[in-house]
Structure 1
């Protein structure tokens, strides 16, 4: 965040672009970046060209500042690892600055789509470097339970040294005994034992010997439902399914439009699909093959109209 702060200093006269003074408060930082204005496509292109062609650091700073809220949003998706939110944001900001440095405005994509991959890559790398540093227990009570539980389990193991009755996991009787001795709920004992038994898992496992990509936490860790690109794609699909279809239908002659509507856009009373080719052939007094030809030509024309609409 040091580079972003330097850019902010250069932009201090433009009041909306200035971050609040450092308060050592993450909530204040997040509130500040959420107040920064977003750039229009034209502004983004202008600043990107100024930086690419003239090395304008102030233009690069504006690109970085306008996307800091994106970093906060993405970093929030990785809080499940127990790593500090501020550190995740810090690493994401590094990825954002790398993205701005490499962004090419001539590629025809928005910076938000390009930067997302760099931000995630930097956060992933940080998680991989610190995976073994994730704290087993977070609160004081949990840390106390963690260490006492380990000691008690060692005692159970010593008591069973001369028999074959010892198991790595606690029995129901042992769980109740630990809960009474430590004055905690048995559910807390079960949860802590499960956390202690859990081993490290590769965030992004290497491909298997047969060349197939192994399935790891990276595949389901982040919630993609609220990613800007996913939201834009969903919005575009909805528009194509409503306004786009309606616009494409308007390009057809009445007979072709009626055939498409009866075949694909209407449902029978029994819940089944629309009319068959033979049903429509009987209505228009032609063969089913002729109806199929009209339908194929109409679909081709609609597809062309939808491509222009998109």
Structure 2
């Protein structure tokens, strides 16, 4: 298959996407429920309606120098994974739910496209890559501290990182774009956004789990004092529970201490498993 044929096929695919109609929330819910019941055609229609959304996200990565058709394909894989987990009863549209999964698959593909990651695929190495591209830090000790790598591993990777800088000064390629112009800007990148979204989701799950572990009175105090847009006063809660304001404050501080300890414990678990 030639590169010219690839570009033509990809262009035809983008044109075809324009024919996919956006589903209404009601139609999307109906298709999702039918798919969960085993209707494969409903699943196909549900996924096809979101393919243009995958293209929109994929275009965010067009400056990374990788073939767009490959990036789109990885995004489609993320969409499939999200669709398999999608629950319409949660009140969320598939496109909104799938955004993280689409970006995560593309992010992994983009990371594998760099030579550094072919030596390993750890989060610390990908973090080192992003840090170097933004700061050009050449001190192994500093890069190790910022990325979480060992100083020895950072020293091994730095020559590869710096070698890429030399190649960036080449003349523009056939498409008229110099390699340096393909690098992401210093602004927040899609990869960073996906990582941040993952961390926020993990923290949100941990917070919900921890709150549910509190006693009914502690849970009520934390919900009314910290998990609301209109917190009530200690005096009001004391009156509701028939105790002093100081007693409410003590219960609140105890609950906060327990929550902090449990959140740290829960959020450490995934890192320990991946280590």
Structure of higher CA gyration radius:
1
Quick check: which one's helix share is greater?
A: 2
Same fold by TM-score greater than 0.5: no
Q: Which of the pair has the greater relative contact order for Cα pairs under 8 Å at 6+ separation?
A: 2
Q: What is the TM-score normalised by the length of structure 2?
A: 0.42
Q: TM-score, length-normalised on structure 1?
A: 0.37
